[in-house]
Amino acid sequence: MKNKYRTHNCGELNKQNIGEMVRLAGWVQRVRNLGKMQFIDLRDEAGITQLVINAEETLQKAMKDVTTECTISAYGKVVERASKNPKISTGEIEIEVKELEVLGKCKNVLPFEVNSDKNEAREDLRLEYRFLDLRNEKLHQNIVLRSEILHTIREEMRNLHFTEVQTPILANSSPEGARDFLVPSRLHPGEFYALPQAPQQFKQLLMVSGFNRYYQIAPCFRDEDPRADRSPGEFYQMDFEMAFAEQEDVFEVMETVIPHIFEKHASWKTSPAPFTRIPYREAMEKYGTDKPDLRNPLVIVDVTETMHKMEFRGFAGKTVKAICVKNGAQNSRKFFDHMVEYAVEELGAGGLAWIKCDETSKLSGSIAKFVTEVVQEQLTKQLDMQPNDAVFFLADDTKKVIKMAGELRMELGRRLDLLEKDIYRFCWIVDFPMYELSDEGEIDFCHNPFSMPQGGMKALEEKNPLDVYAYQYDLVCNGYELASGAVRNHDPELMVKVFEIAGYQREDVENRFGALFHAFQYGAPPHAGAAPGIDRMIMLIEHEDNIRNVIAFPKNKKARDLLMRAPSRVDEKQLKDVHIKIDLETK
């Protein structure tokens, strides 16, 4: 059956179609008026075709309602274009219009220019009119690419014999490290569902249920603050789990699927598998973060013992970290002053000390006069400091200085243009501590409480909890955490012990994680898995700095949907149905 609006899309006609009568439909991107003749750039998802409107009375009458971004249908003859446009696929032809119909009128004044490359409109305005913003070619193609990537993921997971299973959205509260979104129950007064922060418990239950390999493109919900690389409220991950599996099995799957996705859809090179593996504590020492960007050649070195040999009060009693920049001495004094300013104003450091070494190995800089021959000799050995190098020093308590040094490392890499170009550098961060000290000084989980401790029960009973490692791992790419996973704890008694060390009682485990605890007593297989973030992966592939640019209908920085105006108040009847009363403090 013929479509009454169009016979072709706006991107498929070419010289071979010259002489044909065709009908096109789409959005008016631009109108150019040359007196007796007018030109329309007609756009749909496939491309742009130029329409020619002559002075015929019925056409001119229809043109009175034609505005930018209205929708029209045009019938006419394909002819060769006199002034060709090699930038578009239809640039050799145009349509001599015989009939024109306006299908959807558009207001004369748009809130912003839809197809501007500069995208200068305020983000809140673009989000309020997201249906217009999504017509922008770059943003539109981001969403199309998202669809293609999801298709590739499903193909790859099917090829690896994974079964796609959808797990519940209305679930129970679970300690995944963020606040839950709660949903009150109408049928069960005073009780609440929680939107899943991840399908963690369900996928483990699927392993107990006899499924060999599970995956899903899973929506996850976390009530956490927005960031440029994190969508507030909800996000998607490619969640998977495998029975009778170890850490190496998970790595094999990830190192098969992830490079294929990037190689197929991205323009940059991809570092080959197997990916570099870095223990968590080594990552923190060398890079100041558990999400290191390996494109940056700079490393952090602990020089506390060496620098305490100097008579410099600024380092006394503090942990001292150093970053040596090869050939950094050639930078101007202004550069060093700007780095000091950055450290103080952006990092909250008390200061940033520095030295540089000239061609004769003579030192200069803010603390050069304190550096003895012995200290210089040790720094040369520790940092491989050579003539023409520069060294930056930060000092503070250990936890704070590690974080500051990590940020300084990346800022130096950016300002000095040291980052390797046009490549995705992947690495695994492994051997995460099972526990860490909370801000209150109590034992708490470092990462995922459902992970298998390395060394099992023996390690939990005999080691200091802070010395116990877990079979947990993160996949990192260019400074972003791309995936997180673990070998799961499938032993109910081991599970109780793990939680007891963190201050939970056996009853807490049975009550809060009753389904898992109960299921593990009926022949649970060893199992392991991971979950790459879909939104962040697409953000990297598209070279976007803001994750909202790869999501069709995102929330803003304050976690509001400006288009649908959510969250919003509801009426008293709706609240009464779910047994809720609002108690807001008067400001």
Question: Which residue stretches of 21-89 are H helix?
Answer: 57-63
pLDDT digits (tens, 9 = 90+) for 243-284: 999 999 999 999 999 999 999 999 999 999 999 999 999 999
Do 165 and 209 contact (CB within 8 A), yes or no? no
Residue 204 lies in a domain: no
In a domain? residue 509 = no
Interatomic CA distance for residues 72 and 42, integer angstroms: 8
Among 73, 104, 135, identify where a domain stops.
104
Q: Residue 1: pLDDT above 60? A: no
* pLDDT mean over 429-442: 92
By 3-state DSSP, what share of the chain in percent is helix, strand and coil, each rounded to 5?
Answer: 30, 25, 40
Other CB atoms within 10 A of residue 143 CB: 15
Predicted structure pTM score: 0.91
Cα Rg for the chain, rounded, in angstroms? 30
Q: Which of 419, 436, 468 is a domain's end point? A: 419
Alpha-carbon distance values, 348 to 325, 395, 547 (Å) = 22, 11, 27
Which of 71, 104, 137 represents a domain boundary (last residue)?
104
Is residue 32 a part of any domain in this protein? Answer: yes
DSSP 441: S
Percent of the chain with pLDDT over 90: 87
Residue 360 forms part of a structural domain: yes
pLDDT of amino acid 176: 55
What tens digit of pLDDT does each residue of 306-337 get?
Answer: 999 998 888 999 999 999 999 999 999 999 99
Closest by CA position to 68, among listed 94, 32, 100, 98: 32
Distance (Å, whole) CA 369 – CA 382: 20
CATH number at residue 411: 3.30.1360.30
DSSP 326: T
Of 51, 64, 127, 56, the residue nearest 93 (C-alpha): 51
Q: Is 146 a member of any domain? A: no
Say what the alpha-carbon torsion angle 339, 341, 346, 348 is, to the nearest 10 degrees: 110
- Domain count along the chain: 2
Q: Give the structural domain span for 62.
A: 15-104
Of 60-69, 225-234, 379-388, the one with minimum mean pLDDT is 225-234
Residue 119 scores a pLDDT above 70: no
Average pLDDT of the chain to the nearest whole number: 94
CA 263 from chain centre, in angstroms, equals 18
Pairing of strands 269-270, 300-302: unpaired
* Mean pLDDT score, 462-491: 96
**410 in a structural domain:** yes
Check: CB of residue 94 under 8 Å from CB of residue 79. yes
Within-domain flag for 371: yes
Q: Per the domain annotation, does 582 fall within a domain? A: no
CATH of the domain at 53: 2.40.50.140
Closest CA to 236 of 207, 274, 272, 198: 198
